[in-house]
Structure 1
Amino acid sequence: MAVDTSFYKSFMSEEIRDEGRAEGRAEGRDKGLAEGLARGLLLIFEVRGIAVTDKIREKITNCGDPQLLNQWLQRATTASSAEEVFAEE
């Protein structure tokens, strides 16, 4: 008994695969951007001599929202403490 594999070669199947690839690339870009912003934020704290608790470090490294990380990064450039960066939340 032969299995019908025509669906896997169809236009619809190609479209579904292309959509999945695009979603995967977008997720990868967002993840990479978030990781880069998190590293940048921690670097700013380090260069400015601002102490970062393990709890704050974990909050930063576990955040996957590039927009939120960018807000924190902007605040970190003028904040006098790491806690000040997160005070508005």
Structure 2
Amino acid sequence: MYLSYKSFITEELLDKGRAWVRARGHTGVWAEIWAEVWAEGWVQGYIEEYVENIPAMLDDVRGFSVPDTLREHITDCTDLAQLRRWLRRAATVSAAEDIFTAEDA
């Protein structure tokens, strides 16, 4: 499955990608393309980490049973900001389902 993470790529992140590409001696149009690919990979990696760590926080750390429907909802999310909110909530909620609020629907 290929998802586009372009909406999460900031100019700051693109600048980091450009620096990474330039440090390897690349310039021009291809360098810009590689910078975007680098940034997209960076965002994808963070999303995958959050998708893995939210259920782990709830299950392994907090001791909650994590239903499959909750896992699927987390896995389907590609919004990095939303995943960050859920991970922060996972540290303090009273039940696994409480990581979701009415705003998340």
TM-score (norm. length: structure 1):
0.74
Identical pairs, percent? 38
Structure 2: unaligned runs, 5 residues or longer? 1-26
Letter in 1 for 2:56: L
TM-score (norm. length: structure 2):
0.64
Instruction: Find the aligned partners of 1:43 and 1:60 in 2 and give their Cα distance.
Output: 12
Larger radius of gyration: 1
Instruction: Find the aligned partners of 1:52 and 1:87 in 2 and give their Cα distance.
Output: 16
Cα shift readout 1:38-85 (whole Å, capped 9, x = no counterpart):
222111111212122212101212222221111001111111112211
Letter in 1 for 2:82: L
Letter in 2 for 1:25: W
Work out whether 1:32 is the aligned partner of 2:41.
no
Structure 1 runs (4+) deviating above 2 angstroms are none
**SS of match in other structure, 2:58:** helix
Q: How many residues align?
A: 76
Q: 2:100 aligns with which of 61, 86, 89?
A: 86
Q: Which has the higher contact order (CA 8 A, sep 6+)?
A: 1
